[in-house]
Amino acid sequence: MNQATLHQLKVFEAAARHGSFTRAAEELFLTQPTVSMQIKQLTKSVGLPLFEQVGKRLYLTEAGRELFATCRQIFETIAQFEMKVADLKGLKQGQLRLAVITTAKYFIPRLLGRFCQLYPGIDISLQVTNHEGILDRMSGNMDDLYIMSQVPDHLDVNFQPFLANPLVVLAPINHPLVKEKNISIQRLADEPFIMREPGSGTRRAIQKLFDENGVAVKVKLELGSNEAIKQAIAGGLGISVLSRHTLIPEMGDLAILDVEHFPIKRNWYMVYPNGKQLSIVARTYCDYLLEAAKEFVDNNAGLYAEAQS
Ligand code: PGA
């Protein structure tokens, strides 16, 4: 490996991540032949093939997989070093990789604006995915911080709650149940229900409550997006349960139903795997988020009370 360069490893890492030389070339602003050449030289240094082509698809060989894992560690260590140096220089700069569950996208991106103004040297990548997607990313150690509503119990993680994330029952504004108070949860079984996709944490929380109360809802439609569900409710396709935060700033054509056992009380947590060295940038972001969440609660005092009324 004496001949291998950091540049070659970077090219290899991108190609392995994308499973494509072309996409690696696009990402790194290189030509495809340059990528091929760099990988060819790296393969020579390693002395074993790194990729194999089966049909049109590119796969990592065993040596390739080992090298990919090694690259991840190398780049992580270099990034940590760069951030430490930046910190010694009194600068906050580097990269922040965040992965958040779908409901948090109603809150987190808005806050990033102010964070970026405070720390213009920090570049951010934000991935939005469902609960299952976050777990996958966490297992692959792909991000610095994760924001989710349910702390995984099968992974060893650090977590800190920072804001309530209640789930409420939503119906179109002209629905007959809107005027009723303290609706029995059993009544929901009479309504067509719109459900999030399997793998969604929201779905899991709803299902748990329904199971505990012996409620079997009629799922009329399954949708993988909170926004699509809101549109479907407004369009009269059924009722659903979503995070109260999906309705900020406006309720639109929707109303919150006053159903027993609701809202389902949940929190958002900042989570990262135990043993992970949080970068200075990530720690700065954690502190910022805790402050911003406090401010949010102060400015929206009525919100959670209203979610229950
Ligand atoms: P989801 O995440 O997108 O997986 O439903 C929301 C949550 O778990 O609260």
Q: Are residues 158 and 172 both part of a single domain?
A: no
CA of 309 to the centre of ligand 1 (A): 23
Q: How far is CA 236 from CA 129, 176, 188, 193, 252, in A?
A: 27, 12, 15, 11, 14
Q: In 3-state terms, what secondary structure has residue 59?
A: strand
Q: How far is CA 189 from CA 88, 139, 211, 262, in A?
A: 60, 37, 12, 15
Q: pLDDT tens for residues 136-175?
A: 999 888 899 999 999 998 889 999 999 999 999 999 999 9
Dist CA 72 CA 216 (whole Å) = 46
In a domain, 80, yes or no: no
- pLDDT range class, residue 304, cuts 50, 70, 90: low
CA of 203 to the centre of ligand 1 (A): 7
Q: In 3-state terms, what secondary structure has residue 159?
A: strand
Looking up residue 301, the CATH number of its domain turns out to be 3.40.190.10
Q: Are residues 43 and 13 both part of a single domain?
A: yes
- pLDDT range class, residue 309, cuts 50, 70, 90: very low
Residue 308: per-residue pLDDT: 44
Examine the fold and report which residue of 17, 35, 70 is the final residue of a domain before the chain moves on: 70
Residue 217: per-residue pLDDT: 93
Q: Is the CB of 101 under 6 A from ligand 1?
A: yes
Q: Are residues 152 and 279 both part of a single domain?
A: yes
pLDDT, mean of residues 206-220: 95
Q: Is the CB of 246 under 6 A from ligand 1?
A: no
Q: Is the CB of 102 under 6 A from ligand 1?
A: yes
Q: Is the CB of 103 under 6 A from ligand 1?
A: yes
pLDDT, mean of residues 233-250: 92
Match 């009629």 to its residue by tokens. Answer: 218
Q: Are residues 195 and 243 both part of a single domain?
A: yes
Residue 98: per-residue pLDDT: 95
Q: Is the CB of 149 under 6 A from ligand 1?
A: yes
pLDDT of residue 197 exceeding 70: yes
Q: Are residues 216 and 284 both part of a single domain?
A: no
Q: Are residues 36 and 176 both part of a single domain?
A: no
In a domain, 193, yes or no: yes
Contact 265, 149 (CB under 8 A): no
In a domain, 77, yes or no: no
Q: Is the CB of 130 under 6 A from ligand 1?
A: yes
Ordered alpha helix ranges (H), the chain = 6-18, 21-28, 32-46, 62-88, 108-118, 131-139, 201-212, 226-234, 280-299, 301-308
**CA-closest candidate to residue 170, choices 60, 255, 82, 249:** 255
In a domain, 173, yes or no: yes
Q: Are residues 157 and 297 both part of a single domain?
A: yes
| 27-31, 120-124, 172-176, 295-299: least confidently modelled range | 295-299
Q: Residue 204: exposed, middle, or buried by beta-carbon count in 10 A (0-12, 13-18, 19+)? A: middle
Average confidence score pLDDT of the chain: 91
Q: How far is CA 182 from CA 217, 258, 308, in A?
A: 18, 5, 10
Contact 186, 213 (CB under 8 A): yes
Q: Are residues 54 and 111 both part of a single domain?
A: no
Question: What's the one-letter identity of residue 305?
Answer: A
Contact 77, 71 (CB under 8 A): no
Q: pLDDT tens for residues 5-51?
A: 999 999 999 999 999 999 999 999 999 999 999 999 999 999 999 99
Looking up residue 13, the CATH number of its domain turns out to be 1.10.10.10
Q: Which of 138, 148, 203 to mutate to test the pocket of ligand 1 (most atoms within 8 A of CB)?
A: 148
CA of 200 to the centre of ligand 1 (A): 5
Q: Is the CB of 201 under 6 A from ligand 1?
A: yes
Q: Are residues 115 and 253 both part of a single domain?
A: no
In a domain, 83, yes or no: no
- pLDDT range class, residue 259, cuts 50, 70, 90: very high
Which structural domain range is residue 17 located in?
Answer: 6-70
Both tokens assigned to 65:
């997989």
Q: Are residues 60 and 99 both part of a single domain?
A: no
Q: Residue 214: exposed, middle, or buried by beta-carbon count in 10 A (0-12, 13-18, 19+)? A: exposed
pLDDT of residue 1 exceeding 90: no
Query: What is the DSSP secondary-structure string of 239-287?
Result: BEEEEGGGG-S--TTEEEE-BTT-SBP-EEEEEEETT----HHHHHHHH
Q: Are residues 138 and 285 both part of a single domain?
A: yes
Residue 90: per-residue pLDDT: 66
In a domain, 234, yes or no: yes
pLDDT, mean of residues 242-271: 92
Atom of ligand 1 nearest to the CA of 102: 3
Q: In 3-state terms, what secondary structure has residue 174?
A: coil
Dist CA 10 CA 14 (whole Å) = 6
Q: How many domains does the chain have?
A: 3
Examine the fold and report which residue of 41, 70, 99 is the final residue of a domain before the chain moves on: 70
Q: Whose CA is nearest to atom 8 of ligand 1?
A: 201
Q: Are residues 50 and 196 both part of a single domain?
A: no
Q: Which of 138, 194, 196, 200 to mutate to test the pocket of ligand 1 (most atoms within 8 A of CB)?
A: 200
Dist CA 266 CA 166 (whole Å) = 5
